Amino acid sequence: MTLRDFKALTFDCYGTLIDWESGIHAGLLPLIAKTGRPIGRDEALERFAHHEVAQEEATPSMIYSDLLTEVHRRLAAEWGVAATEEEHRRFGASVPDWPAFPDSAEALAYLKKHYKLVILSNVDRASFAGSNERLGVDFDAIYTAQDIGSYKPDPRNFQFMLDRLAEQGIGKADILHTAQSLFHDHVPAKRFGLASAWIDRRADQGGWGATAKPAGDARYDFRFTSLAEMAEAHRREMAR
């Protein structure tokens, strides 16, 4: 199997293309300050992951900006601090402020020359629009949780994407699902028989960060520590 075997790259966005952990942590710092105790970055991200997954399961049709508002509310309650509705909603609206990884835009521009680029993301359309400006590429298709009414790893999200791509003549064998989260992406991708590339953005860190620990078969076919590394691997294949 080589990278040249595929016609389409289907991307998770947050954690893969956008540095959501830095964005989440920055957005939580005012709430953490109110606790008056040292809550480290890893602890904050792990608690975010716990509440995000629980809220996605409880309210699968809630758009992501509102869901983040509720996650912030849950964290305030857990940490025993008071926060205003404005503060909850400010965190909910923070996705467009989350930075892109430094290599994302350049690597996407290169990959766009060789593949169709597709987004499959646990986000709402308005929030993704802000992120897309940071990525600087026109995706060939964008499928969000808002469009589908559920959140990954729900199989409905992958089925929705596969059905839409099949209408464009792109089958499973043509797709390389490219993502950071083993929990949200690689486990369900394997259940659907999709090849996948793990962008292991946390390669130099322990724990799972802002994603839950995977349950199930989290195998992948390629592993890269950045999107730039993936693009460079493709360049080498092309040069052979």
Q: What is the pLDDT of residues 10-66, one digit of tens each?
A: 999 999 999 999 999 999 999 999 998 899 999 999 999 999 999 999 999 999 999
Domain match, 29 and 144 both: no
> Which of 97, 132, 150 is the last residue in one of the domains?
97
12 is catalytic: yes
At residue 196, φ and ψ (nearest 5 deg) are -145, 150
DSSP single-letter state for residue 18: B
Q: Which range marks the domain in which residue 70 is found?
A: 20-97
Task: Looking at the structure, tell me whether residues 140 and 224 fall in a common domain.
Answer: yes
pLDDT at 218: 85
55-82 pLDDT, tens digit per residue, is 999 999 999 999 999 999 999 999 999 9
The single residue of 12, 19, 124, 154 carrying the catalytic annotation is 12
Residues 190 and 61: their CA atoms lie apart, in Å, by 24
Q: pTM to 2 decimals?
A: 0.94
144 and 130 within one domain: yes
Q: Looking at the structure, tell me whether residues 234 and 118 fall in a common domain.
A: yes
Contact 176, 8 (CB under 8 A): yes
97, 123, 143 - which closes a domain: 97
- DSSP code of 14? B
> Do 220 and 151 belong together in one domain?
yes
Question: Do residues 106 and 92 share a domain?
Answer: no
Inter-helix orientation angle 64-79/41-58, to 10°: 120
The SS3 assignment for 196 reads: strand
Distance of CA 6 to the CA centre of its chain: 21
pLDDT tens per residue, range 138-191: 999 999 999 999 999 999 999 999 999 999 999 999 999 999 999 999 999 999
84 and 191 together in one domain? no
Position 198 confidence tier, pLDDT thresholds 50, 70, 90? very high
Choosing from 62, 97, 132, the residue where a domain stops is 97
